[in-house]
Amino acid sequence: MPLSPGDRLGSYLIEGPLGAGGMGEVYKARDEKLDRFVAVKILHTTRATDPSFRDRFQREARAIAALTHPNIVTVHSIEDHDGSPFLTMELVEGRTLADIIPPGGTALTQFLQIAIPLAMRWQQRTRAGSHIAI
């Protein structure tokens, strides 16, 4: 379900896209009830009608919501809009890995500064039963 700036999902006003992956799209949105910015992840339209993907999406959200770690976003809610499930989570603004790592690679020390926190996050998610990339 591609969204555009100005579209609404319940009380969330879409500001613009942040990224997309195999399961869905992520958007920056304003939570008009709490007057804050959040990230909204919504399943692709083709995935939203598949019960197995809907179940995986909800399991993943619950698993991440159960975690507390500086390198893991906080999940605020799992909701539904016109039959399309979406979740709202903490918006973390900053640079992407593509911004940080040059095309030719990076020095080992910089790589380890990135890789170690990511590995720790992955380990914590795996222990919580989460195996699906967000």
Q: Is residue 46 part of a domain?
A: yes
Q: Is residue 81 part of a domain?
A: yes
Closest CA to 7 of 23, 25, 34: 25
If you average pLDDT over every residue of the chain, what do you get?
85
Q: Which amino acid is at 71?
A: N
Q: Is residue 49 part of a domain?
A: yes
**97 pLDDT tier (thresholds 50, 70, 90):** confident
Residue range 16-59, pLDDT digits in tens: 999 888 888 999 999 999 999 999 999 888 888 888 888 888 88
Q: Is the dihedral of CA 95, 97, 99, 102 positive or negative?
A: positive
pLDDT of residue 96: 77
Q: Is residue 101 part of a domain?
A: yes
Kindly report the CATH number assigned to the domain that includes residue 42. 3.30.200.20
Q: How far apart are CA 100 and CA 110, in angstroms?
A: 9
Q: Is residue 1 part of a domain?
A: no
Q: Is residue 14 part of a domain?
A: yes
Q: Give the number of domains in the chain.
A: 1
Domain residues for the domain of 65 are 8-127
